[in-house]
Amino acid sequence: MISDNSTISAISTPLGGGAMAVVRLSGKDALQITQKLTQKETFSPRYATLCRVYDAGDVLDEVIVIYFKAPHSYTREDVCEIQCHGGSVIARRILDLTLEHGARLAQNGEFTKRAFLNGRIDLSQAQAIAQMIEAKSLKAQKTLARHLCGELSEFVQNARDLLYEALAYSEVMIDYSDEDLPQDLIEKLMQKIDLVLGRLEKILKHSIARNGILEGFRLSIVGKPNVGKSSLLNAFLMQERAIVSDVAGTTRDRIEESFHIAGVYVKIIDTAGIRESKDRIEQIGIERSKEAMRESDVILALFDASREWEKEDEEILNLLREEKDKKIIVLLNKNDLPRQIDQDQLKEFSPIALSAKEKEIDSVLEALEKVLNEEESDDVMLSSANQIKSVQDSIESLRQAKLELANGVLELFSYNLKDAICSIGAITQPYESAELLDKMFGEFCLGK
C-alpha cells in the first residue's frame, strides 16, 4: 500500500479541441470533493450520473460523474471521473476547483503508479499501459494489450513457480552429505532448470527478432549508383521524397522515412550508391550505407536488370553474403527495359523483378510483407529493454546454477537459483526502489 494519502487530480484527456474531457480524482477525498463541486449528495458506484458543476454559485457545466468505490477502481482507491464538455476552459476550471477543495495535482503517471503500488497491476502491465500510448502500429498495440491482460505476468509466474520448486528440493537436500545425494532428484532438478532455461531462451530470441513490431522494422535500400534506390523509396512512400536523376551519385546522404505495411511500422533508409569512390563526400555516403545495412533488420538490395553484371554488383553481392543472418530481399529493377544482367549471379537470393520508375512494386511489397510476418507467433514477447535485461540475467544465473548442480555444490546452486528468481521477478515486481519507480512512472503522461 502507498503511504501518501493525498487525493490526486488531473485532466486525463488532451487539452484543447474534442467534444469532451475527463477530470479524474483518486484518493480518500475523491467522492467528497466531487460532492462539493456538484452540490450532490449521492453517487451510486459505477453509475453514470448526470449533474452540474458549480463555480461560486454559478453553473459551470453539465457533466457526467462516474464514481468508482475502492477497491473496484483503476487505482484501487476511491476514484471519481468527471466527464465535462471539451475545449480549453471547462476542464481546467474543474481541475482548479478540485484543487481548491483539497486535491493535489497528480504527477505524470501517478494514477498508474498508485494502481501498481496498491497491487492492482504489476510492473509489466503498467509498462504496457505507458507503451500503448506510444504504439506506432496495430500489431504493436495488440502485443501490448496482451501484456495488459497479464500474459507476460503469467509467463513470469510460471517460470518462478518452477524455480521455487527446484529451490525447495535443493534446500532440503543441502542437509544430505555428498554421497547420500539422491541421484534421481538431481536429475529431476536438472530437468526443471532446463525446462525454464529453454523457455527463457526462446522468449528472448523471438522478442529480439520481433522487436520491430514495437519499435518499427528498419529497412535499408542498397545498391550501386543509379540502380533506382531513390525511385523505389519514392514508390513506397507514394510521393517524390528523394531526388531521382540519371546522374550516378545523386543521393549523397542517407534519407530516412517511415510508412506502414500490413499493420507493421517500417522505417526505411535510402542510401548513397555503394561503389569505390575518390570523391570524399561520396565516400562518406558509402560508409553510411554500409552502416545502414548493418543496422537494418531487412536489406533491400537493388540491381539494375538493364545493365550488364559489373564489378560493383559483385561487391554488393559480397557484402550481402557477409550479412547472411539478416533478412535480405534481392531486387532486379528496371524490368521495363530489355534485360542485360546475368541473373544467374544472383540465383542464391532468388531475385524479384520490378520497375521502380513505373511504380510496379507489388512483387516487392508482397515479399516484404512475407518477411515482416515471418516471425509472427502466438508466443508472448518482451517489450522493453529492462524486461530483456531481466531475462538475460536470469538465463545467466540458471546456466551457472546448472554448473554448480553438476558439481554437486548445492549451496551455490541455491544461491544462483535465487538470483535467477529475483531477476525474472523484476519484470513484474522490482525490488522496491522509490527512485526507479519515480523514473518509470515519470515517463507517463499526465492524468495516466
Ligand X SMILES: Nc1nc2c(ncn2[C@@H]2O[C@H](COP(=O)(O)OP(=O)(O)OP(=O)(O)O)[C@@H](O)[C@H]2O)c(=O)[nH]1
Q: In this chain, which of 12, 153, 211, 333 binds ligand X, going by CB under 6 A? A: 333
140 versus 356: smaller Cβ distance to Mg ion: 356
65 versus 331: smaller Cβ distance to ligand X: 331
CB of residue 250 to Mg ion, shortest distance in Å: 5
Take residue 403 and report the three cell numbers written for it. Answer: 554448473
**Integer Cα distance of 203 and 196 in angstroms:** 11
Q: Where are the alpha helices (DSSP H) in 135-279?
A: 138-148, 151-173, 183-209, 211-215, 229-237
Distance of CA 85 to the CA centre of its chain: 33
60 versus 232: smaller Cβ distance to ligand X: 232
244 versus 341: smaller Cβ distance to ligand X: 244
Does 281 help bind ligand X (rule: CB under 6 A)? no
Take residue 122 and report the three cell numbers written for it. Answer: 504489476
231 versus 423: smaller Cβ distance to Mg ion: 231
Residue 39's SS3 state is: coil
CB of residue 231 to Mg ion, shortest distance in Å: 8
Q: Can you give the length of the chain in residues? A: 448
Q: In this chain, which of 210, 218, 334, 448 binds ligand X, going by CB under 6 A? A: 334
Q: Which does 333 bind (CB under 5 to 8 A by kind): ligand X, Mg ion, none?
A: ligand X
CB of residue 343 to ligand X, shortest distance in Å: 16
30 versus 356: smaller Cβ distance to Mg ion: 356
Distances (CA, A) of 223 to 1, 315, 351: 59, 10, 13
Distance of CA 259 to the CA centre of its chain: 17
Q: Which does 367 bind (CB under 5 to 8 A by kind): ligand X, Mg ion, none?
A: none
Does 138 help bind ligand X (rule: CB under 6 A)? no
Show the site string, 318-347: x = touches Mg ion by CB under 5 A, - = not. ------------------------------
Q: Side-chain half-sphere of 382: how many Cα atoms within 13 Å?
A: 25
Q: Which does 227 bind (CB under 5 to 8 A by kind): ligand X, Mg ion, none?
A: ligand X
**Integer Cα distance of 355 and 362 in angstroms:** 10
Does 118 help bind Mg ion (rule: CB under 5 A)? no
Q: Which residues does 26 contact at the CB level (< 8 Å), separation at least 6? A: 7, 8, 9, 73, 74, 75, 77, 78, 79, 106, 111, 114
**Integer Cα distance of 19 and 198 in angstroms:** 51
CB of residue 375 to ligand X, shortest distance in Å: 29
Q: Which residues, 244 to 303, sit near Mg ion by CB under 5 A? A: 250-251
Q: What is the 3-state composition of the chain as percent helix, strand, coil, each rounded to the nearest 5?
A: 45, 20, 35
Take residue 349 and report the three cell numbers written for it. Answer: 537470393
> Residue with the closest Cβ to Mg ion?
251
Q: In this chain, which of 27, 150, 273, 351 binds ligand X, going by CB under 6 A? A: 273
Q: Which residues, 215 to 254, sit near ligand X by CB under 6 A? A: 223, 225-231, 244-246, 248-251
Show the site string, 292-331: x = touches ligand X by CB under 6 A, - = not. ----------------------------------------
- What is the size of the binding site for Mg ion (CB under 5 A)? 4
Q: In this chain, which of 220, 230, 289, 416 binds Mg ion, going by CB under 5 A? A: 230
Does 275 help bind ligand X (rule: CB under 6 A)? no
Distances (CA, A) of 325 to 65, 314, 331: 56, 19, 18
What does R_g of the chain's alpha carbons equal in angstroms?
29
251 versus 296: smaller Cβ distance to ligand X: 251
229 versus 402: smaller Cβ distance to Mg ion: 229
Q: Which does 109 bind (CB under 5 to 8 A by kind): ligand X, Mg ion, none?
A: none
Say what angle helices 90-100 and 30-38 make with each other, to 10 degrees: 120
CB of residue 256 to ligand X, shortest distance in Å: 14
* Cα pseudo-dihedral 48, 52, 56, 57, rounded to 10: -140
Does 13 help bind Mg ion (rule: CB under 5 A)? no
Assess contact for 288 and 254: CB atoms under 8 A: yes
Q: Which does 351 bind (CB under 5 to 8 A by kind): Mg ion, ligand X, none?
A: none
Paired residues of 55 in beta bridges: 58
CB of residue 276 to ligand X, shortest distance in Å: 14
Residues near ligand X (CB under 6 A) are 223, 225-231, 244-246, 248-251, 272-273, 333-334, 336-337, 355-358
